[in-house]
Chains A and B, each alone.
Chain A
Amino acid sequence: MTEGIQIKPLLVEIDGAVMTLTLNRPDVLNALTLEMMKGLLESLKKAEKDKNIGCVILTAAGRAFCAGADLGDLKKRQEEAPFSLGDELRRHFNPLILQIRRMEKPVIGAVNGLAAGAGASLILSTDIKIASRESKFINAFSRVGLVPDSGMTYFMPRFLGMSLALEYAWTAKPITAEEAFRFGWVNRLVDLGQVMDEAQKLAQELIAAPPLSVALTKRAMNRSFENNLETQMEYEAQLQEVLGKTHDHAEGVAAFLEKRRPRFEGK
């Protein structure tokens, strides 16, 4: 995808109902610049609104997934007009993580290799993670005197439990692909060459599912972190009230009874 000497740092491809976003600065391990973050947020919002898109795959070019924030880009922007790291998170990183969690379409993380810092947060925020056996997660914030950010302190205790979360955050010890799989941090491990195939296969499966059911399932699961059982079950009842009246529910039941494939319409 080269145009003369200009290389796009973020590739956006739409194939059928699947949007694939590829971080594309392999020479610097896909470190995130402001331009890339803006591109990611804009593309994810487009995917959210576009009725023809049913699923997003987030991946990266080369051997690494993402080394985190591009510190050179950050420094340059800070020299132009000073801002705090807090404001940088509020303006660019946090909206991106929130967009992935809140958009009601599946976002699949296809992890080709190393994911460090905000790159690891980005992966943790996706709904389903497919990782290569060579991939590795590094939480090196403590090495530079910071706290894990972009949602990392929210996701880590939930995926790993408090003890492991604190150990990995304090020691900055890398989490290997095998460990990540064992922790439930990633859904499955495949060979590097198969990461995208596997993600594509899953995306095809998800876009064939009834879209409103997919959407409201994500909404309900997101809510579960804040609710007690009674509140969560009432919430399920409310969503079921909505879905119980949809065409796709009737179609799913009819297809089951008639022993045929359902034709879902997202209604």
Chain B
Amino acid sequence: MGGFELITAQSLIVSEKHGAVGVLRMNRPEALNALSHPLMDRMEEALKNFEADSAICAVVIAGSERAFAAGADISEMQGKTSAEMRADSHLSRWDKVSNFPKPTIAAISGYALGGGCELALACDLRVASETAVFGQPEISIGVIPGAGGTVRLSRLLGRALALEMVLTGRRISADEALSLGLVNRVVPVELFLDEAIKLAHQIAAMPPLAVAAAKKSTLHAMDSSLEDSLNFERNLFYDLFDTEDQKEGMRAFIQKRRPNFVGK
């Protein structure tokens, strides 16, 4: 994996910088990385730091080999009323991940269940180990996914498969997830984090303004009409012609050399 710079290790989130790639590792092994309030607090902070850090161009969110995250912390919410749950902003943490402006890659091994599955779905790309297991088992404990499960699964998989997952709680293996388009690739368990970081480096090597525009346009298209999306895309395309990286990229292409992007 090469050298990297450790930023925090004291806690529920281990944060590292691998060159232009930020890596967040959930670190609550005794609870299979159940996504408690404190853990998601730390994740939000770590994401904020990576957002502010202009040297970071892509972020990997990972768990351990055994569990990406086995769910939200059920013991935290078991006794709560509807009003208490509403007053709590815990679930908005998942939106912070999906709204993160730089590309995010989930590196998933072992359990990605409930809130863990939703966290993986909130990322832009997903790299899974062969042992990854996806599922939304909330229905079996009297609730439904609350952090985007029904919404993102229906968009990614279509209505029938999404409904099967959220109505029965059926778990999906890595190979099935790949065939359904739920993950980008599946690799041996020993490689899942390396592979996610490698993929992040590929993106980090691209001109950052174009990367941001590509992500913005793709996400916009998920929620808008065809006409609106095409206009949105075209405007971003035109905008990029005022950037140095567009000039450099096209010049290098014509001169048959590698471009040197500056992020401007």
Binding site for B on A (CB under 8 A): 216, 219, 235, 238-239, 241-242
Contacts and interface: CB of A to CB of B under 8 A. Distances in A.
A17 B169 CA distance: 40
Contacts, number: 12
Contacts of A219: 188
A87 B187 CA distance: 32
Nearest to A246: B190
A242 B188 CA distance: 9
Given A216-B188, A241-B191, 10 more contacts: A219-B188, A235-B188, A238-B187, A238-B188, A238-B191, A239-B188, A241-B194, A242-B188, A242-B190, A242-B191
B191 to A, nearest CB: 6
A239 B187 CA distance: 9
12 contacts: A216-B188, A219-B188, A235-B188, A238-B187, A238-B188, A238-B191, A239-B188, A241-B191, A241-B194, A242-B188, A242-B190, A242-B191
Contacts of B194: 241
Contacts of B187: 238
A242 B190 CA distance: 7
A235 B187 CA distance: 8
Nearest to B187: A238
B66 to A, nearest CB: 13
A22 B194 CA distance: 42
A239 B191 CA distance: 9
Contacts of B188: 216, 219, 235, 238-239, 242
Contacts of A242: 188, 190-191
A160 B187 CA distance: 31
Contacts of A238: 187-188, 191
Interface in B64-122: none
B40 to A, nearest CB: 32
Interface in B183-209: 187-188, 190-191, 194
Query: Which of B187, B188, B191, B194 has the most chain A CB atoms closer than 10 A to its own CB?
Result: B188
Nearest to B190: A242
B218 to A, nearest CB: 27
Interface in B221-237: none
Contacts of A239: 188
A219 B190 CA distance: 12
B46 to A, nearest CB: 28
Q: Give the 3 A-B CB pairs with smallest separation, nearest first.
A: A242-B190, A238-B188, A238-B187
A242 B187 CA distance: 11
Nearest to A220: B188
B96 to A, nearest CB: 33
A185 to B, nearest CB: 28
Contacts of A241: 191, 194
Contacts of B190: 242
A231 B176 CA distance: 16
Nearest to A241: B191
A238 B194 CA distance: 11
